[in-house]
Amino acid sequence: MFDRRLVQNFDWMLLIITLLLAASGLITLYSAARAGLPITQAFFVKQLMWYGIGFVIMIASFLISYKQFDQYAYFAYAVCIFLLAAVLLVGKLVAGSKRWLVFGQISLQPSEMAKVAVIIVLARYYSRTASTKGMRLRDLVIPMLLIGIPFGLIVKQPDLGTAVMILLIAATLTVLIKIEKRAMIAIVSFGTVAIPMIWLLLKGYQKQRILTFLEPDRDPLGAGYHIIQSKIAIGSGMLSGKGFLKGTQNALSFLPEHHTDFIFSVLAEDWGFIGSAAVLILFLMLIIWSLNIAHGCRDPFGALLAIGITALIGWEVFINIGMVMGLMPVVGIPLPFISYGGSAILSMMLCMGILMNISMRKYLVE
């Protein structure tokens, strides 16, 4: 029987923030796409389609109880692992990377859904095993495996940015559920020792990106070109911007990846500091509101699920903005709701539906 309290507790604020961010993304993408080739102009139409599908997924994900995600967490995780493995075997090869599965005219990036699957499965595990005394090192073996499998498959593609996101989300959840002091020291020590080994395993272009971050002018026409053009676009927007569709860096195609990783630079050039700040305030509102949902949830699984989604949004915004401003290495992290990408939009709308789900049902007590 339908519970009227679900309607009474519907989170209109979360829906409004989602709609405003989606609108900001579509407006910015329209500006980015109109300056490119016909194929890039089609991105706007495709993004509209992805948002349409995304809203259906969002509605479906808040109509059922979020506890269903708890019940099917390991199944969803297994499906994502299967898809990640399938990418390596039959995935589409683009610029030396296999990241997409192609179904006719549709391309899907399983690593985007893997981020959500990791959040759900860790929320399930930690909600059952966490204690006030703190988790011991042996208690963390299973979560390390749950994290390590998708991390390894994504690195193999290679997609270092998404793999790093998996680690950051997992680290955020793990730290919040409390770890014993000895276990924490062991993890930090292992991470410190592993850094030189990770450097040796990086591919040439990945090392180049890090070196370019440390010294942007070392290769201004090569590895440093993206960052230099991005800074020029952001700076040229000044206080109020050049106006919608009037950004020259974008119009003259000086700005690479202007519809994906560097789309914030297009926004900053068109709308300036005022427009950029407005979008960042929307993201801040979303993060604070999501944390409030987590705080108000009496169910450990629901609270951890909300925290994990908040971590996903927060880290992606932080890394992408830092990247386009030259404050962080270029790692290929999309800006939520704004960057072009069907799989990223679908996963983000799924996350919004789950947050609404938790917010609507946070009054329920087992």
Q: Is the pLDDT of residue 215 over 70?
A: no
Average pLDDT of the residues of the chain: 84
Q: Is the peptide bond before 334 cis (omega within 30 degrees of 0)?
A: no
Find the mean pLDDT for residues 79-95. 87
Among 206, 96, 76, 58, CA closest to 150:
76
Q: Is the pLDDT of residue 177 over 90?
A: no
Sign of the torsion formed by the C-alpha atoms of 215, 327, 342 and 158: positive
Q: Rounded to whole angstroms, how far apart are CA atoms 37 and 144?
A: 44
Among 226, 294, 286, CA closest to 262:
226
Listed range (66-80, 127-141, 216-230) with the worst mean pLDDT: 216-230
Q: What is the pLDDT of residue 1?
A: 42
Q: Is the pLDDT of residue 221 over 70?
A: no
Among 298, 297, 246, CA closest to 268:
246
pLDDT tens for 298-315 read 889 999 999 999 999 999
More reliable by pLDDT, 344 or 189 = 344
Find the mean pLDDT for residues 240-267. 74
How many residues does the structure list for the chain?
A: 366
Hey, what are 35's tokens? 């300056």
The answer to whether the beta carbons of residues 221 and 256 sit under 8 Å apart is no
Inter-helix orientation angle 342-361/300-324, to 10°: 140
Distance of CA 264 to the CA centre of its chain: 15
Listed range (6-20, 223-237, 263-277, 318-332) with the worst mean pLDDT: 223-237
pLDDT tens for 22-71 read 999 999 988 887 655 555 567 888 899 999 999 999 999 988 888 899 99
Listed range (107-111, 160-164, 183-187) with the worst mean pLDDT: 183-187
Q: What is the pLDDT of residue 124?
A: 95
Q: Is the pLDDT of residue 73 over 70?
A: yes
Hey, what are 341's tokens? 């990408």
pLDDT tens for 97-149 read 788 888 877 888 999 999 999 999 999 999 988 776 777 788 888 999 999 99
Q: Rounded to whole angstroms, how far apart are CA atoms 122 and 188?
A: 20
**What is the Rg, in whole angstroms, of the alpha carbon atoms belonging to the chain?**
21
Q: Is the pTM above the cut of 0.85?
A: yes
Q: What is the pLDDT of residue 83?
A: 94
Q: What is the pLDDT of residue 366?
A: 45
The answer to whether the beta carbons of residues 157 and 99 sit under 8 Å apart is yes
Q: What is the pLDDT of residue 324?
A: 87
Q: What is the pLDDT of residue 201?
A: 66
